[in-house]
């Protein structure tokens, strides 16, 4: 998972006026410290949709919340949703830290997010079709050609390809953040193999068990149909001549950190989870080796990176993929989701041009804002960045996972000089953004609640350009360390359940409905 | 089913069954020494012998006392077939086929593994029969969960096959411990010590009650017959092989096979031999030799299974 890289605001607001509620247990003493809080307003009064939840929290003795959090963490451990701590030779296992206080997203805000994400996916698909074929957006001078051609994720091997239904990004996880005004920004699009949706489903599963009464009171939209939708989408994008497509999930194997998710999704869809060594290319088709001999495969939901897909075309040393796969793909005999080459559209530099893409392809104004982004490739932007390094967050385009980042206001002079040098020698590789004050949420710390910064990753499925579906929910990641903006699980980040409130007429999650478990 | 999945699921099942049987060995021995404080016969050395890895043991541990044998058989992760090693491997295999087995069975195996792992340190210091009894109960729960939550399709039949082949092997080894090592002299047959040991051996396969109901008194021939040829007791060798043959037939029909595979031929020939041999013949020909040959045949069956089902490259 990517980590959030904005800087925190260091100012703390003075003591705020307190509502009588606050004196009650659990939320007592809670302070927003001047940050935008997802659950309560600046006076620590519950936001309208969060009333039932906040009432519950204040009615519980502080220890009770902690007890339920422990119960949920034990359940997750029992379910084997763990990763191994490699530094520990005894094979200690840990779950991704879970926080019991859910995030609540109002139906109005969700409507905005839903519309904005759909618009964005439509534009990104158009861009991917264009950039691997006619390249009109480049010819029009909207996106500089050299930015495309120098992008490591732009695969020359995919030039001229047209995936079925013109869909390149079938599954997307877009990272959103909110600033101090509560406005939503897209932080980045993850178009390659976005992970985390299994946490969304399993977090919900354990929360329903532990807080049935709030579920009844809160009108929460269900997430449990995600895997059915995913399977339906994958069938719909199968090669058109196939009547009853065989769908598989392709994983790098049990040692991959997201392996649990791969097996979970395969199990929930009822399809085979395959590794590269289970697949073979024969007669221009892909087959899997079964106890009944070879069986043809039509759709691969691949969870391995482009570079490892086919040793004949990409990295020749890769043993994770399937030799000859790209040729089958080119012949139209297999669907790969997501299509190889989609990474060019989530490059950190290309990100800056997504609003222009929306205007160009759709003739619409972007619904969701992007974070103001300075592209160091551009001379004017570069000069601005170099002279404002102490205010900006600088990111290397070729890095992820929190590497190659300078948080200007917190950096030393030496670090800033190092980045200035790196920017000058390879401007294509750098962007800069202003620092945002990320929104916060009450989070269990010891035996009480404190505000911690959060982001949100909703998941989007696309089977046709006009058929985009957004899971009403998402992965809320929370930076558990005080003051930290790093939500990455490897760096002390955890997750929360995300409750999207239903509008009148929309289905709600019933605690009696079949769970995803 | 994917060949890799079939192979993993088969091994998962064998490894868990192996862990269960090791726990049974240790549990009954720990109980037995409570009843036999004077150590008429050393109960630990034979447990090492039947593994066939006694050289490795002697090199690492030296003397075969309680603490060393328990550590070796139960918790030594450097030993390729200790109870904990088997559970780690079974769980790793289960992780690799998680989408094929039921969620409940994964979670049960996961708990089983954590239970053993969490108690390892304390049990190495002071092993208790009670702990190994808990292990046996975990194993029984796991097999029950598998059998009641999975469709009895090809995947389940591979599980059953792995379980039964391993169980046949271990039942034969339990019998071998007694006959070959515990009781070298025929004069001891029928003594109180002998009775205790035979009872212990029956307990190790959960067969004490079933045996008593049919035969009431301990009798060498009848006990050997019970272990080898009982038609319906689930841990007798004949019963295991018959079940394995049945599962193999189901797998084959599910795999749409119209040829008789090598492994089917082998298992049917073993079944034929078991059905047409009497306990008198076994004892006359030497029981250890009989068991030795049985184990070789079981190994060959395992090898053929791999060739017939786990490495396919031909289109269906």
Residues A463-500 pLDDT 10s? 999 999 999 999 999 999 888 877 776 667 899 999 99
Token pair 């404080």 is found at B37
Q: Tell whether B221 is within 8 A of chain A (Cβ).
A: no
A80 to B107: CB separation less than 8 angstroms, yes or no? yes
B299 touches chain A (CB under 8 A): no
Q: Determine the Cα–Cα distance for residues B167 and B154; give it in Å rounded to an integer.
A: 20
Burial status of residue B159 (CB atoms within 10 A of its CB: 0-12, 13-18, 19 or more)? buried
CB-CB neighbours of A496 under 10 Å: 24
Starting from the edge strand earliest in sequence, which strands make up the sheet with A405-407, in order?
A: A374-375, A430-434, A392-396, A405-407
Mean pLDDT for all residues in chain B: 88
Contact at CB, A264 and B98, closer than 8 angstroms: yes
CA distance A228 to B302: 39
pLDDT in tens, A393-444: 999 887 766 677 888 888 899 999 999 999 999 999 999 999 888 999 999 9
3-state secondary structure A219-252: CECCCCCHHHHHHHHHHHCCCCCCCCCCEEEECC
Mean pLDDT (whole number) for A179-192 = 93
Q: Are strands A247-250 and A299-302 parallel, antiparallel or unpaired?
A: parallel
Tokens linked to A159: 């030039």
Enumerate domains of chain A plus CATH numbers. Answer: 240-333 (3.40.50.11290), 372-435 (3.30.1490.270)
Burial class (CB in 10 A: 0-12, 13-18, 19+), A106: middle
Q: How deeply is B277 buried, as exposed, middle or buried, from its count of CB atoms within 10 A (0-12, 13-18, 19+)?
A: middle
On the question of a cis peptide bond just before residue A338, with omega within 30 degrees of 0, the verdict is yes
pLDDT for position B107:
94
Instruction: Using a CB–CB cutoff of 8 Å, tell me whether A154 touches chain B.
Output: no
Task: Say whether B314 and A294 touch across the interface (CB within 8 A).
Answer: yes
Apex A104 CA angle, A102 and A110, nearest 5: 140
Pairing of strands A405-407, A430-434: unpaired
Model confidence at A343, pLDDT cuts 50, 70, 90, reads very high
Q: Which residue of B has its CA nearest to A267?
A: B99
Q: Which is nearest to A485 in space by CA: A473, A474, A477?
A: A477
Interface contact flag, A282 B315, Cβ < 8 Å: yes
The predicted structure's pLDDT at residue A386: 95
Quickly list DSSP for A126-163: HHHHHHTTT-HHHHTTSS-HHHHHT-TT--GGGTT---
List of chain B residues whose C-beta atoms are within 8 Å of the C-beta of residue A288: 2
Chain B interface mutation, best of A291, A295, A296, A516, highest count of B Cβ atoms under 10 Å: A291
- pLDDT band for position B239 (cuts 50, 70, 90): very high
Residue carrying structure tokens 């069954």: B17
A398: Cβ contacts below 8 Å, ≥ 6 apart: A152, A404, A429
Q: How far apart are CA A288 and CA B1, in angstroms?
A: 9
> In what helix (H) or strand (E) does residue A437 lie, and over which residues does it extend?
none
Inter-chain Cβ pairs, chain A and chain B, closer than 8 A: 83
B264 Cα to chain A: minimum distance (Å): 15
pLDDT of residue B180: 56
The pLDDT score that the predictor gives to residue A95 is: 83
Quick check: A15 pLDDT over 50? no
User: Which position has the token pair 């609003």?
Assistant: A355
pLDDT in tens, A232-260: 999 999 999 999 999 999 999 988 888 99
Report the chain B residue with the minimal C-alpha distance to residue A263.
B99
A476: exposed, middle or buried (C-beta count within 10 Å: 0-12, 13-18, 19+)? buried
CB A289 within 8 A of CB A275: no
Q: Which two tokens stand for residue A281?
A: 């290319």
Q: Is the ipTM of this complex over 0.85?
A: no
Q: Is A273 helix (H, G, I), strand (E, B) or coil?
A: strand
B 68-107 near A (Cβ less than 8 A): 88, 92, 95-96, 98-100, 103, 106-107
C-alpha closest to that of A218 among A66, A339, A53 = A53
Confirm or reject contact between A255 and chain B (CB < 8 A): no
CA A480-A486-A489 angle, 5° bins: 70
């Amino acid at each position: 998972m990517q980590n959030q890289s904005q800087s925190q605001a260091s100012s703390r607001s003075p003591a705020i006026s307190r509502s009588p509620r606050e004196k009650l247990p659990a939320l007592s003493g809670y302070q927003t410290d001047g940050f935008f809080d997802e659950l309560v307003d600046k006076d620590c009064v519950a936001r309208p949709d969060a009333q039932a939840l906040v009432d519950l929290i204040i009615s519980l003795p502080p220890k009770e919340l902690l007890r339920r959090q422990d119960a949920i963490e034990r359940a997750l451990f029992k379910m084997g949703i763990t990763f191994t701590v490699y530094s520990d030779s005894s094979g200690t296992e840990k779950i991704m830290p879970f926080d019991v206080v859910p995030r609540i997203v109002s139906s109005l805000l969700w409507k905005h997010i839903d519309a904005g994400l759909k618009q964005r996916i439509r534009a990104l698909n158009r861009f991917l079709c264009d950039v691997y074929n006619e390249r009109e957006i480049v010819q029009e001078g909207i996106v500089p050609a050299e930015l495309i051609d120098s992008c490591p994720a732009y695969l020359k091997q995919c030039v001229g390809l047209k995936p079925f239904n013109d869909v390149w990004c079938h599954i997307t996880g877009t990272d959103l953040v909110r600033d101090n005004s509560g406005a939503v920004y897209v932080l980045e699009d993850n178009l390659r193999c976005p992970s985390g949706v299994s946490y969304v489903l399993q977090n919900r599963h354990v929360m329903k068990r532990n807080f049935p009464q709030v579920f009844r009171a809160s009108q929460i939209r269900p997430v449990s149909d995600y895997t059915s939708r995913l399977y339906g989408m994958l069938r719909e994008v199968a090669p058109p001549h196939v009547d009853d497509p065989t769908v598989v999930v392709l994983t790098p194997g049990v040692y991959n950190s997201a392996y649990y998710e791969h097996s979970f999704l395969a199990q929930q869809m009822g399809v085979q989870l395959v590794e590269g060594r289970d697949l073979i290319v024969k007669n221009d088709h892909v087959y899997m080796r079964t106890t009944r001999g070879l069986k043809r495969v039509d759709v691969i939901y691949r969870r391995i990176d482009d570079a490892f897909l086919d040793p004949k075309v990409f990295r020749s040393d890769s043993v994770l993929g399937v030799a000859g796969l790209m040729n089958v793909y080119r012949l139209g005999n297999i669907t790969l989701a997501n299509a190889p080459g989609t990474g060019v559209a989530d490059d950190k530099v290309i990100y800056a041009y997504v609003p222009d893409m929306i205007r160009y392809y759709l003739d619409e104004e972007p619904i969701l804002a992007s974070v103001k982004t300075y592209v160091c490739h551009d001379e004017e932007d570069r000069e601005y960045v170099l002279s404002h390094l102490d205010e900006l967050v600088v990111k290397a385009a070729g890095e992820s996972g929190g590497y190659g980042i300078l948080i200007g206001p917190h950096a030393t002079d030496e670090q800033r000089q190092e980045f200035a040098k790196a920017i000058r020698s390879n401007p294509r590789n750098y962007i800069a953004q202003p620092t945002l004050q990320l929104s916060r949420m009450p989070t269990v710390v010891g035996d009480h609640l404190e505000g911690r910064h959060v982001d949100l990753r909703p998941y989007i499925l696309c089977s046709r350009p006009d058929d985009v579906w957004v899971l009403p929910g998402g992965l809320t990641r929370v930076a558990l360390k005080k003051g930290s903006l790093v939500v990455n699980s490897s760096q002390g980040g955890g997750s929360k359940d995300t409750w999207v409130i239903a509008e009148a007429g929309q289905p709600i999650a019933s605690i009696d409905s079949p769970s995803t478990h | 089913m994917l060949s890799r999945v079939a192979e993993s699921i088969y091994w998962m099942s064998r490894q868990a069954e192996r862990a269960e049987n090791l726990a049974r060995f240790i549990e009954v021995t720990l109980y037995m020494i409570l009843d036999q404080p004077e150590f008429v016969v050393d109960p630990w050395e034979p447990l090492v012998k039947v593994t066939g890895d006694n050289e490795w043991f002697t090199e690492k541990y030296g003397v075969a006392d309680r603490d060393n044998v328990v550590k070796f058989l139960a918790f030594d992760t450097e030993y390729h077939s200790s109870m904990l090693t088997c559970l780690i491997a079974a769980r790793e295999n289960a992780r690799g086929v998680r989408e094929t087995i039921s969620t409940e069975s994964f979670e049960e195996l996961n708990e089983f593994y954590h239970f053993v792992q969490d108690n390892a340190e304390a049990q190495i210091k002071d092993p208790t029969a009670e702990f190994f009894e808990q292990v046996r109960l975990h194993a029984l729960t796991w097999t029950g969960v598998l059998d009641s939550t999975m469709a009895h399709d090809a995947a389940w039949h591979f599980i059953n096959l792995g379980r039964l082949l391993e169980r046949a092997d271990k039942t034969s080894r339990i019998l071998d411990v007694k006959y070959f090592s515990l009781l070298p002299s025929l004069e001891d047959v029928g003594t109180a010590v002998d009775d205790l040991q035979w009872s212990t051996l029956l307990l190790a396969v959960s067969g004490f009650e079933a045996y008593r109901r049919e035969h009431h008194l301990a009798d060498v021939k009848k006990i050997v017959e019970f272990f080898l040829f009982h038609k319906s007791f689930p841990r007798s060798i004949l019963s295991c092989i018959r079940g394995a043959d049945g599962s193999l037939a189901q797998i084959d029909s599910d795999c749409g096979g119209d040829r008789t595979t090598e492994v089917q031929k082998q298992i049917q020939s073993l079944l034929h031999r078991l059905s047409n041999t009497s306990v008198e013949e076994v004892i006359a020909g030497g029981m250890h030799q009989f068991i030795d040959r049985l184990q070789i045949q079981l190994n060959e069956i395992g090898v053929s299974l791999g060739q017939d089902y786990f490495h396919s490259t031909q289109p269906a």
